[in-house]
Chains A and B, each alone.
Chain A
Amino acid sequence: MPRFSIEFQQAHDIDWFAQQGSICIHAMSFGGALPKAVNDRDLNTKILIAAYSIEPYIDDVTINDGYVNERLKSQDDSRSMEERRERYLRHFKEMAQRGFWSFDRDLNDEKRYHLIARPTNDNGILYCHLPKMPRLGEECYKPEGDDLILDFNEEKG
């Protein structure tokens, strides 16, 4: 199965997808190494395209304000906080409106992801629109709050 090379992973912000229980996960890699279970180039691209074919249909989305504000405050940017927040949330919010729990990679730790946005009421995604998603299984667990810690070996080559 064709995989994303480590060089490609490091230079790109890859939207990756997985399923954990009944939750559909969308996450942004921001140059970090992908979990082995999701590093399938063709499948991931198929899911991405299928996800975009779903019109954002959920109005009520919950944002992890505490983490988002803390993250943006730590960055040196002259734009207003409101402007930066709106821009930062755009993609995650859209994915949550499509039914995904949307995560972003930690700024320092490439194995830690933070929940950014999710549907407030777990309406369930329109599974029929999506190819079968990889399961993170034991690679992923939730030791605290909204964080997702990934325990995986970096892909080589």
Chain B
Amino acid sequence: MAQQNYLFDGKANLDKQVEAYSEEVYDYFDYERASAKLPRFGKYYYPAMVISCCDKDRKYSMNSFARNPVTYAYKLTKMGDEMKCVFHLPSGFGLKALKDNSFERFSIGQCAEQHATNEMLYNIKKKERDYYDQFDVRNDVFFSKAIRPATGEVKTYCKNCKALFDL
């Protein structure tokens, strides 16, 4: 069960995975900044948070980072329906609904957790349709700790993620 995320026996491995990923992200930006010739927007700033997630059978895992929500990407998987249900979004929701219905000062769909889950679901959908059909977003996904890559700090999950994944 996702609400027992901290009891998940694969959590230690996920935490190691996200620690390594956080270092990779840090090093990537360090390199990009130091080797820059022509500054290009968006390339030089750390994402606020990174996360790793996996499914309950640990067949799939995904690392991802916080960034602006892309509604069509969420609509490609079960995440769109789950978001609609949890946050009472209108059908065919857009960015405005994601912002207006958020439990936080930032928009729904922006968190690393939500991007990671969506990307993992998309992979599962492509590779294992039966497994995807049975997949329960609220209960079948587990998360590492959330790390701020600029500093390695650990942050608690936000209200949107707690509601969406029953954390």
What are the residues of chain A within 8 A of B33 when measuring CB–CB? 48-49, 52
Pair B67/A11 contact, Cβ less than 8 Å: yes
- Kindly identify, within residues 122 to 167 of chain B, every residue whose CB is under 8 Å from any CB belonging to chain A: 145, 148-156
Closest Cβ–Cβ distance, residue A80 to chain B (whole Å):
12
Pair B46/A75 contact, Cβ less than 8 Å: no
How far is B100's CA from A71's CA once the two chains are assembled, in angstroms?
A: 31
Identify the closest chain B residue to A76 (Cβ): B154
How far is B34's CA from A53's CA once the two chains are assembled, in angstroms?
A: 6
Pair A87/B151 contact, Cβ less than 8 Å: yes
Pair A45/B110 contact, Cβ less than 8 Å: no
Judge whether A25 is part of the interface by a CB distance below 8 angstroms: no
What are the residues of chain B within 8 A of A78 when measuring CB–CB? 15
Identify the closest chain B residue to A94 (Cβ): B30
Judge whether B45 is part of the interface by a CB distance below 8 angstroms: yes
Pair B39/A49 contact, Cβ less than 8 Å: yes
Pair A11/B68 contact, Cβ less than 8 Å: yes
Partner-binding segment picked from A12-20, A59-67, A136-144, A145-153: A12-20
What are the residues of chain B within 8 A of A45 when measuring CB–CB? 39-41, 44
How far is B155's CA from A88's CA once the two chains are assembled, in angstroms?
A: 13
How many residue pairs, one in A and one in B, have C-beta atoms under 8 Å apart?
A: 86
| Chain B interfacial residues counted at CB < 8 A | 31
Which listed residue, B15, B40, B46, touches A13 by the CB 8 Å rule? Answer: B46
Pair B48/A12 contact, Cβ less than 8 Å: yes
Which listed residue, A13, A75, A87, touches B45 by the CB 8 Å rule? Answer: A13
Residues of A contacting B: mostly: helix
- Most chain A Cβ neighbours within 10 Å, of B15, B41, B105, B151: B151
Binary flags per residue of B44-77, CB closer than 8 Å to A gives 1, else 0: 1111100000000000000000111000000000
What are the residues of chain A within 8 A of B47 when measuring CB–CB? 11-13
Pair A14/B45 contact, Cβ less than 8 Å: yes
How far is B153's CA from A88's CA once the two chains are assembled, in angstroms?
A: 7
Judge whether B106 is part of the interface by a CB distance below 8 angstroms: yes
Closest Cβ–Cβ distance, residue A98 to chain B (whole Å):
12
Closest Cβ–Cβ distance, residue A52 to chain B (whole Å):
4
Identify the closest chain A residue to B104 (Cβ): A10
Closest Cβ–Cβ distance, residue A45 to chain B (whole Å):
4
User: Known contacts A31-B48, A52-B33, A52-B36; is A13 also within 8 Å of B150 by CB?
Assistant: yes
What are the residues of chain A within 8 A of B145 when measuring CB–CB? 77
Pair B106/A52 contact, Cβ less than 8 Å: no
Judge whether A46 is part of the interface by a CB distance below 8 angstroms: yes
Identify the closest chain A residue to B145 (Cβ): A77
Judge whether B5 is part of the interface by a CB distance below 8 angstroms: no
User: Known contacts A48-B33, A49-B33, A49-B39; is A11 also within 8 Å of B106 by CB?
Assistant: yes
What are the residues of chain A within 8 A of B3 when measuring CB–CB? none
**A/B interface sample: 7 pairs, CB < 8 A:** A8-B68, A11-B67, A13-B45, A13-B150, A52-B36, A76-B156, A91-B151
Which B positions have Cβ atoms within 8 angstroms of A?
15, 26, 33-34, 36, 39-42, 44-48, 66-68, 105-107, 110, 145, 148-156
